[in-house]
A and B are shown apart, each in its own frame.
Chain A
């Protein structure tokens, strides 16, 4: 630790994860658009076992969460933790093992899921040999992560690292507990839990996958990249302390909001609802800390597409963490559960928060990694608008569809006391226009990420003006 030579950061690993993020983002969202088409027009299932909705949907969720969002978070971690701690990653070997291991897991998911090899638990579909591989790769990543922290040259841990740490520690606990099962064959296994116990374990996992895979590491990303792009320090250090610890302690309780009105014991349902409602406070703490970091930089937001991505991303974070607690209230959930409203909520978080934050980060990183400005600078702004309008189409369609079906399915004729719409399919077809509208929105979002893919490809290939990073006016991570 004594030498004062400049540290040579490992940027090759960052480039790899960034490329993987783009590739799997395109694949996962393409599958999402196909699903959207299948719901609007059933013949798109094609009478082919491997591409029916039931087999493709897990491919979509696994690809966008674990491949797109996962690789995005790893990109953020490998770039920012080296710089925040002023050391190279502890082991290049482990970094590469992590990268290739993770991609191999994704490829095996993409092969097994269409074949119908699945555990049939939402977000935990991957079969047991792949689950073991995930645990092994994660341990390697964790050793490298804590090894790097151990040899750090900066004594204190910046807030982004706290959030990354909660991700590195919590995800394997959730993953292992939820996947404990007895193998029947090489490709099939059955959980050690049954019935409602299995349901509770699964949603404890499922909700906290949202919390510790799609939320906390992205907050870490926000705390590093947003101040960098805005060239301003984080608004409030104290707020970041409070909302970090509150998120860590509260989120873990919220799982039962996925099982309201079910046969789960009432005490567990109530705990899930109460903690979910409380979550609004630390969530908005994070959102405000992000948005207020831009105070005094609003003129730049108007010109800089990267900041625009962040503003929309953080705003959608605020919106979905307002909506989520509302949907956790039993009476509201009674309407929303099972409907497209939930799908709308999911994608305002997924497209709005995870998607936009990732895009902002990539446009900021590419010039710094490859030393060139984006080949097509004008496309960045276009991507921003396509993505934003696409999201708006998507979620408005799903809100409208969700409330419509929720109300129709519960409607009771006041005279007879019987159901108003007895044929389920009448309700299904009322949703047709909304499904087409969502397909349109999804297509726009996909077009946006495709443009980014091409743009990055051209930049890496060598088009684009030389780029040298401006000396940051305010070092964000002090």
Chain B
């Protein structure tokens, strides 16, 4: 109980000295922070980048990723398959650190209101994604995902994507100045490929639509899995 006839050492040593108290508090939170974070900045990060196999997102994939971020897809979908039998059976091989090499921000997610998406690339044709974003229930009976009809109408802005690439470049992603300059034509080129595949399924759209960019991103997801396990472990 807090009856003190003489003053407790803590009171004398610290509670009378607010600056020392503050310094010690910061010291207390610094130890764990430094021990855990610093190795990640140096050793682990270097290890993940060392394989050098994972290429940065293409301009169209990056545009699609920006849409994924904007709509908050990560609040319902994870992008991290855990090394457990039920997960590899359901989704595919488990996620490796190097696959996230150029993910700014990371999109691991913490909820699975819908299924994991880390291995969704190549799982469905482009047309499936088109219809699914327009009306999820047309492709997955009983889905609870919202409709995203505006993605079929809104267009992305090439200059905006160049700004994104520049920022990524400044943060350390190896985009060259030439790649950034050529982004507008690259966007159209990549987009036309998807538009062509959609046309085969009787869907008419244009390469500047947000849905096209989002499809490009979704089809890229998980395709950077290590080559030696591309087929195994599933």
Residues of A within 8 A of B (CB): 38-39, 42, 45, 47, 49, 52-55, 57-58, 116-122, 146, 149-150, 155-157, 162, 165-166, 169-170, 173, 177, 181-185, 188-202, 204, 208, 233-238, 241, 245, 248-253, 255-256, 258-259, 261-265, 268, 271-272, 275, 334, 337-339, 342-343, 409-412, 418-419, 422, 424-425, 428-429, 478
Which of B10-18, B190-198, B212-220 lies at the interface?
B10-18
Closest to B74 in A: A120
In the complex, the answer to whether B90 meets A162 with C-beta atoms within 8 Å is: no
A202–B37 alpha-carbon span in the complex (Å) = 11
Whether, in the assembled complex, B101 has its beta carbon less than 8 Å from a beta carbon of chain A, the answer is: yes
A-B contact pairs, 13 of them (CB 8 A): A58-B75, A116-B70, A162-B15, A177-B37, A182-B167, A194-B101, A194-B171, A200-B40, A204-B37, A253-B36, A268-B40, A338-B111, A428-B114
In the complex, the answer to whether A261 meets B84 with C-beta atoms within 8 Å is: yes
Which of B26-34, B124-132, B181-189, B199-207 lies at the interface?
B26-34
Distance in Å: Cβ of A13 to nearest Cβ of chain B: 21
Bitwise interface map of B from 1 to 26 toward A, beta carbon under 8 Å scored 1, else 0: 11010001011001110100110011
Whether, in the assembled complex, B113 has its beta carbon less than 8 Å from a beta carbon of chain A, the answer is: yes
In the complex, the answer to whether A195 meets B15 with C-beta atoms within 8 Å is: no
Closest to A211 in B: B29
Number of interface residues of B (CB under 8 A): 86
Given the known inter-chain contacts A195-B106, A478-B2, please indicate yes or no for A55 contacting B78, CB distance below 8 A.
no
In the complex, the answer to whether A190 meets B105 with C-beta atoms within 8 Å is: yes
Contacts of A428 in B (CB 8 A): 113-114, 142-144
In addition to A194-B173, A338-B78, A425-B142, 9 A-B residue pairs with Cβ atoms within 8 Å of each other are A117-B70, A169-B29, A194-B104, A194-B106, A194-B171, A196-B97, A200-B36, A410-B86, A418-B89
Whether, in the assembled complex, B138 has its beta carbon less than 8 Å from a beta carbon of chain A, the answer is: no
Residues of B within 8 A of A (CB): 1-2, 4, 8, 10-11, 14-16, 18, 21-22, 25-26, 28-29, 31-33, 35-37, 39-41, 44-45, 48, 66, 69-76, 78, 80, 82-86, 89-90, 95-97, 99-108, 110-115, 140-150, 160, 163-164, 166-168, 170-173
A194–B105 alpha-carbon span in the complex (Å) = 6
A201–B103 alpha-carbon span in the complex (Å) = 14
A338–B76 alpha-carbon span in the complex (Å) = 9
Distance in Å: Cβ of A466 to nearest Cβ of chain B: 34
A194–B160 alpha-carbon span in the complex (Å) = 21
Contacting B171 at CB < 8 Å: which of A181, A208, A251, A263? A181
Distance in Å: Cβ of B138 to nearest Cβ of chain A: 14
Contacts of B4 in A (CB 8 A): 237
A335–B95 alpha-carbon span in the complex (Å) = 18
Given the known inter-chain contacts A195-B102, A200-B40, A338-B110, please indicate yes or no for A234 contacting B2, CB distance below 8 A.
yes
Ranked nearest first, the 3 interchain pairs of A and B with the lowest CB-CB distance are: A54-B72, A195-B100, A45-B146
In the complex, the answer to whether A425 meets B143 with C-beta atoms within 8 Å is: yes
In the complex, the answer to whether A52 meets B71 with C-beta atoms within 8 Å is: yes
Given the known inter-chain contacts A195-B100, A236-B1, please indicate yes or no for A248 contacting B25, CB distance below 8 A.
yes
In the complex, the answer to whether B86 meets A275 with C-beta atoms within 8 Å is: no
Contacting A419 at CB < 8 Å: which of B48, B89, B167? B89
Distance in Å: Cβ of A326 to nearest Cβ of chain B: 18
Distance in Å: Cβ of B198 to nearest Cβ of chain A: 22
Closest to B17 in A: A157
Contacting A183 at CB < 8 Å: which of B14, B41, B141, B167? B167
Distance in Å: Cβ of A198 to nearest Cβ of chain B: 4
Contacts of A204 in B (CB 8 A): 33, 36-37
In the complex, the answer to whether B29 meets A54 with C-beta atoms within 8 Å is: no
A189–B170 alpha-carbon span in the complex (Å) = 11
Contacts of A338 in B (CB 8 A): 78, 110-112
In the complex, the answer to whether B44 meets A255 with C-beta atoms within 8 Å is: no
In the complex, the answer to whether A425 meets B141 with C-beta atoms within 8 Å is: yes
Contacts of B25 in A (CB 8 A): 162, 165-166, 169-170, 248
Contacts of B39 in A (CB 8 A): 265, 268
Contacts of B85 in A (CB 8 A): 412
A149–B25 alpha-carbon span in the complex (Å) = 16
Closest to A121 in B: B105
In the complex, the answer to whether A263 meets B147 with C-beta atoms within 8 Å is: no
Contacting B44 at CB < 8 Å: which of A117, A146, A170, A196? A196
In the complex, the answer to whether A58 meets B150 with C-beta atoms within 8 Å is: no
Closest to A157 in B: B15
In the complex, the answer to whether B36 meets A39 with C-beta atoms within 8 Å is: no
In the complex, the answer to whether A58 meets B72 with C-beta atoms within 8 Å is: yes
Distance in Å: Cβ of B73 to nearest Cβ of chain A: 6
Contacting B48 at CB < 8 Å: which of A196, A249, A251, A275? A196
A261–B95 alpha-carbon span in the complex (Å) = 10
Closest to B146 in A: A45
In the complex, the answer to whether A342 meets B110 with C-beta atoms within 8 Å is: yes
Distance in Å: Cβ of A36 to nearest Cβ of chain B: 12
Given the known inter-chain contacts A47-B146, A195-B48, A248-B28, please indicate yes or no for A155 contacting B108, CB distance below 8 A.
no
In the complex, the answer to whether A245 meets B105 with C-beta atoms within 8 Å is: no
In the complex, the answer to whether B144 meets A52 with C-beta atoms within 8 Å is: no
Contacts of A238 in B (CB 8 A): 8
Given the known inter-chain contacts A188-B164, A248-B28, A258-B110, please indicate yes or no for A198 contacting B36, CB distance below 8 A.
no
Q: Which of the listed residues B69, B163, B164, B170 has the most CB atoms from chain A within 10 Å of its own CB? A: B69
Distance in Å: Cβ of B21 to nearest Cβ of chain A: 7
Contacts of A255 in B (CB 8 A): 36
Contacting B31 at CB < 8 Å: which of A157, A249, A424? A249
In the complex, the answer to whether B144 meets A39 with C-beta atoms within 8 Å is: yes
Contacts of A157 in B (CB 8 A): 14-16, 18, 21
Closest to B49 in A: A194
Contacts of B28 in A (CB 8 A): 245, 248-249, 252
A261–B28 alpha-carbon span in the complex (Å) = 28
A236–B1 alpha-carbon span in the complex (Å) = 5
